[in-house]
Amino acid sequence: MMDSVKEDVHYRTCPLCEATCGLEIHTVNGEVTHIEGDKQDPFSKGYLCPKGFSLKELHHDKDRIRKPMIRKGAEWFTVSYEEAFKEVRKGLRSVIEMHGRDAVGVYLGNPNVHNLSGMLYLPLFLRALGSRNQYSASTVDQIPKQLAAEFMYGSDFSIPIPDIDRTQYFLVIGANPIVSNGSLMTGPNMRGRLKALQDRGGRLVVVDPVRTATAKLADDHHFIKPGTDGYFLFSILYTLFDEGLTKETHLAQHVNGLSEVKKLANDFPPEKMAAVCGLDAETIRTIARDISSATCASVYGRMGTCTQAFGTVNSWLIDVINYVTGNLDREGGVMFTTPAAGGKMSKKGYRFDRFRSRVSRMPEVLGELPVACLAEEMDTPGEGQIRAFVTVAGNPVLSTPNSKRLQNAMENLDFMVSVDCYINETTRNANVIFPAPTPLERSHYDLSFYQLSVRNISHYSPPVFEKNEGQLDEWEILLKLAALVGEEEPHQDAVNKLDDASIHYLIKKDIKNDRSPIYGRNPKEISEALEGRKGPERMLDYMLRSGPYGDHFKQQDGLSLKKLEENPHGIDLGALKSRIPEVLLTHTGKIELAPELIVDDVTRLKNETNKSDMLLIGRRNLRSNNSWMHNLPVLMKGKDRCTLWLNPTDGERLKIQDGDVAVVESEVGRIEVIVELTNDIMPGVGSIPHGYGHDLSGVKMAVAKDNKGVNTNLLSDEKRRDAVSGTAVLNGIPITVSKTKSGREKHGTVRTESI
Ligand X SMILES: Nc1nc2c(c(=O)[nH]1)N[C@H]1C(S)=C(S)[C@@H](COP(=O)(O)OP(=O)(O)OC[C@H]3O[C@@H](n4cnc5c(=O)[nH]c(N)nc54)[C@H](O)[C@@H]3O)O[C@H]1N2
Q: Which residue's CB atom is positioned nearest to ligand SF4?
A: 52
Shorter beta-carbon distance to ligand X: residue 63 or 572 = 63
Shorter beta-carbon distance to Mo ion: residue 368 or 537 = 368
Among 12, 16, 591, 707, interactor with ligand SF4 by CB under 6 A: 16
CB of 360 vs Mo ion, minimal distance in Å: 23
- The span from the CA of 183 to the CA of 605, in Å, is 26
Shorter beta-carbon distance to ligand X: residue 233 or 296 = 233
Among 337, 624, 643, 647, interactor with ligand X by CB under 6 A: 624
Binding site partner of 584, from ligand SF4, Mo ion, ligand X, none, Cβ cut-off 5-8 A by kind: none
Element (H, E) at 13: strand 7-13
DSSP result, 524-576: HHHHHHTTT--HHHHHHHHHHHTSTTB-TTT-TTSB-HHHHHH-TT-EEEEE-
Interface of this chain with ligand SF4, residues 182 to 221, rule: CB under 6 A: 188
DSSP 601: T
CB of 49 vs ligand SF4, minimal distance in Å: 3
CB of 395 vs Mo ion, minimal distance in Å: 12
Binding site partner of 651, from ligand X, Mo ion, ligand SF4, none, Cβ cut-off 5-8 A by kind: none
Closest CA to 128 of 601, 622, 598, 488: 488
Q: Which stretch binds ligand X (CB under 6 A): 251-259, 301-309, 376-384, 512-520?
A: 301-309
Q: Is the peptide bond before 689 cis (omega within 30 degrees of 0)?
A: no
Q: How far is CA 711 from the centre of its chain?
A: 19
Among 14, 124, 148, 288, interactor with ligand SF4 by CB under 6 A: 14
Q: Count residues contacting ligand SF4 (CB under 6 A)?
A: 12
Site membership for ligand SF4, residue 19 (CB under 6 A): yes
Closest CA to 632 of 706, 703, 709, 708: 703
Binding site partner of 407, from ligand SF4, ligand X, Mo ion, none, Cβ cut-off 5-8 A by kind: none
CB of 518 vs ligand X, minimal distance in Å: 31
Q: Which stretch binds Mo ion (CB under 5 A): 141-149, 274-282, 488-496, 704-712?
A: 141-149
Interface of this chain with ligand SF4, residues 26 to 85, rule: CB under 6 A: 48-49, 51-52
579 neighbors 329 (Cβ within 8 angstroms)? yes
Establish how many alpha carbons lie within 13 A of residue 731's alpha carbon, considering only the half-sphere containing its beta carbon: 25
Site membership for ligand X, residue 308 (CB under 6 A): yes
Give me the amino acid identity at 129.
L
| 636-642-647 Cα angle (round to 5) | 135
Site membership for ligand X, residue 392 (CB under 6 A): yes
Give me the amino acid identity at 733.
I
- 3-state SS class at 205: strand
Interface of this chain with ligand X, residues 710 to 749, rule: CB under 6 A: 712-713, 716, 730-732
Exposure string (b/e) for 244-270, b if CB count within 10 Å is 16 or more?
ebbeebebeebbbbbeebbebbeebbb
Among 17, 345, 539, 571, interactor with ligand SF4 by CB under 6 A: 17
- The span from the CA of 364 to the CA of 341, in Å, is 27
Q: Which stretch binds Mo ion (CB under 5 A): 37-45, 136-144, 351-359, 617-625?
A: 136-144
- The span from the CA of 384 to the CA of 378, in Å, is 9
Interface of this chain with ligand X, residues 594 to 623, rule: CB under 6 A: 617-622
Bridge-based pairing state of the strands 615-617 and 255-256: unpaired
- The span from the CA of 19 to the CA of 685, in Å, is 29
Q: Which stretch binds Mo ion (CB under 5 A): 135-143, 259-267, 304-312, 501-509?
A: 135-143
Shorter beta-carbon distance to Mo ion: residue 189 or 448 = 448
- The span from the CA of 689 to the CA of 623, in Å, is 12
CB of 138 vs Mo ion, minimal distance in Å: 8
Shorter beta-carbon distance to ligand SF4: residue 623 or 708 = 623
Q: Which stretch binds ligand SF4 (CB under 6 A): 10-18, 346-354, 519-527, 714-722?
A: 10-18
Site membership for ligand X, residue 240 (CB under 6 A): no
Closest CA to 641 of 749, 515, 511, 482: 749
Q: Which are the contacts of 217, defined by CB distance < 8 A and separation ≥ 6?
A: 178, 191, 194, 195, 198, 204
Site membership for ligand SF4, residue 164 (CB under 6 A): no
CB of 35 vs ligand SF4, minimal distance in Å: 9
Binding site partner of 14, from Mo ion, ligand SF4, ligand X, none, Cβ cut-off 5-8 A by kind: ligand SF4
Q: Count residues contacting ligand X (CB under 6 A)?
A: 63
Exposure string (b/e) for 281-316, b if CB count within 10 Å is 16 or more?
bebbbbbbebbbebebbbbbbbbbbbbbbbbbbbbb
Q: Which stretch binds ligand SF4 (CB under 6 A): 16-24, 80-88, 541-549, 713-721?
A: 16-24
- The span from the CA of 249 to the CA of 450, in Å, is 28
- 3-state SS class at 368: strand
Shorter beta-carbon distance to ligand SF4: residue 139 or 180 = 180
Site membership for Mo ion, residue 141 (CB under 5 A): yes
What is the Cα gyration radius of the chain? 25
- The span from the CA of 396 to the CA of 421, in Å, is 15
Site membership for ligand X, residue 304 (CB under 6 A): yes
- The span from the CA of 153 to the CA of 705, in Å, is 45
Interface of this chain with ligand X, residues 147 to 206, rule: CB under 6 A: 173-177, 179-181, 183
Shorter beta-carbon distance to ligand X: residue 208 or 376 = 208
For binding to ligand X (CB under 6 A), which residues are involved?
17, 109-111, 115, 137, 140-141, 173-177, 179-181, 183, 207-210, 212, 224, 226-227, 229, 302-305, 308, 392-396, 399, 419-422, 424, 436, 474, 617-622, 624-628, 690-691, 712-713, 716, 730-732
For binding to ligand SF4 (CB under 6 A), which residues are involved?
14, 16-17, 19-21, 48-49, 51-52, 181, 188
For binding to Mo ion (CB under 5 A), which residues are involved?
141
